[in-house]
Amino acid sequence: MPSQRGANCRPQQREGNRVAVGVPTVRRRRLGGKLRSLRGDLTLEEVAEASEGAFALSKLSRLENARNAAKPADIDRLLDLYAKLGRDVDDELRAALLDLTKAGSQRGWWHSYRGVLTPVYEDLISLEAEASSVCMWQMGTIPGLLQTGDYAREFIRTTAMSDGVQSKVDALVEVRLARQAVLTRERPVDLWAIIAEAALRVRVKDQGVMREQLSRLLALSQRPNVNVQIMPSDTPPHIGQMGSYTLLGFGDHNDLDVVHTETLTSAVYVEDRTQVSAYRDGFGRLQASALSVEASMDRMTEIRDQL
């Protein structure tokens, strides 16, 4: 297992839906799931009664089932109630849930691209902005958070499935580059990317694009919050061949973690804790199968210098 400089990608035990959803459902579902967990064996009726009129049964149900955007004041008051009822509500959990609630009503920089982005893509960007760690396995391309502008333009253009996307290439490139600010902000996200070697050897019309891209990968790999591993082409069959995915982590309260996967025509968010745990375990196996971080840098340098 490679030495870890950044992202929390180690297997952890969890328990507990796989849904294809858009803004703001993923965020609301994460909040609702945590509220359900805090309620434990209490019924909604019992919580409503204990609140002495502060929370109607219908309101509690809507919060847990993500049918309405929550207000920070309501969440703060509900957490006070759960603490009074003997639930473990520490300062860190309160801060995490309040941040999650506030983020749902804030306008991020990506809102100015609303005519360009799908709701699901907006949600991915907002989750990246909130995450403390991002662990990704990519089979066919360099991850978006590590791409150069020319590489992004080439792949957005060539993989577009509609004329509508073709007309938005420049704006989509701007968005992809803007997303990368999470790597260099004051408290940067910890990124661990495992990339199939085949993605580094893709033949593009201008191989200068790939040389520049590989140089950027090498440069970013020097950052303390970025780890890049390469999965060699001659590696025996492994779990990553089932498909690419990204695991977005949110600190110690890992029942808020989310997995993002993509298909040709849609994206899916996996939020069920048992399933998220399986993806995390899979990532650990990928880490063990891939080249070490140091050997990966040597492999990237070798491939770049052959171009």
pLDDT tens digits for 152-171?
A: 999 999 887 777 787 899 99
Q: Confirm if 81 and 54 have CB atoms less than 8 A apart.
A: yes
pTM: 0.79
Taking each helix axis from N to C terminus, what angle separates 91-103 and 25-39, rounded to the nearest 10 degrees?
Answer: 150
pLDDT at 23: 41
Check if the beta carbon of residue 138 is closer than 8 Å to that of residue 243. Answer: no
Q: What is the pLDDT of residues 107-152, one digit of tens each?
A: 678 888 888 888 888 889 988 988 899 999 999 999 999 999 999 9
What's the confidence (pLDDT) of residue 107? 65
Reported as a single tens digit per residue, the pLDDT across 75-106 is 999 999 999 999 999 998 898 888 878 765 55
Q: Which amino acid is at 165?
A: V
pLDDT at 6: 56
What integer is the mean pLDDT of 206-210? 95
The chain-wide mean pLDDT, for the chain, equals 88
Domains of the chain: 18-23+118-306 (3.30.870), 26-103 (1.10.260)
Q: How confident is the model at residue 284 (pLDDT cuts 50, 70, 90)?
A: very high
Q: How far apart are CA 168 and CA 160, in angstroms?
A: 10
